Amino acid sequence: MSAIHDIPVNNLSGEPSSLGEHRGKAVLVVNVASKCGLTPQYEGLQKLHETYADRGFTVVGFPCNQFLEQEPGSADEIQEFCSVNYGVTFPLYEKIEVNGDGRHAIYEELTATVDADGEAGDITWNFEKFLLSPDGEVAGRFRPQTEPDDDALVSAIEELLPA
């Protein structure tokens, strides 16, 4: 099992947690923001979550305020925004940094992964997506402009799930 499952992180309520609570599931990890041009992707992410949850899949969101301060809200404000505006039911974790000296350990692991163009490194913007296999290995990296219903993303998810 991958070490990424064992890295401690708080959930949005501030309670200790880890991605280990999703061990055995395919997981789409996304750095999210409430005041971004890509924020409407929440709708598609929620649809993915609902479509594949019964087959062992979940989306998880990590709010991040590093890109033009597009996630300024408190945990309560983030939860309310996501719930009221997009009906988000997938798990949200604490606001973290995904780049720089304060980069969270989960993103230290994730940013080492290359995308379809062979590029690794820093997160480029809000809504960058990482697909984890049920054993916690990174199975794909999708840049922010990749919509949740993108054929390549959906195919990669389906490949990890039982029929």
Domains of the chain: 3-158 (3.40.30.10)
Residue 133 DSSP one-character state: P
CA distances from 68 to 61, 65, 123 (A): 18, 7, 13
- Quickly list H helices, the chain: 41-52, 75-86, 105-110, 151-160
pLDDT in tens, 4-41: 999 999 999 999 999 999 999 999 999 999 999 999 99
Neighbours of 37 (CB within 10 A): 12
116, pLDDT greater than 80: yes
Band of the pLDDT at 1, cuts 50, 70, 90? very low
Give the model's pLDDT for residue 114: 92
pTM: 0.97
pLDDT in tens, 63-89: 999 999 999 999 999 999 999 999 999
Q: Give the rounded percent of residues in the chain with a pLDDT score beyond 70.
A: 99
Q: Which amino acid is at 88?
A: V
Q: In the annotation, is 64 catalytic?
A: no
pLDDT in tens, 83-107: 999 999 999 999 999 999 999 999 9
Choosing from 36, 60, 106, 153, the catalytic residue is 36
Ramachandran region of residue 73, left (φ > 0), alpha (ψ -120 to 50) or beta?
beta
What is the rounded average pLDDT for all residues in the chain? 96
Q: How far apart are CA 55 and CA 47, in angstroms?
A: 14
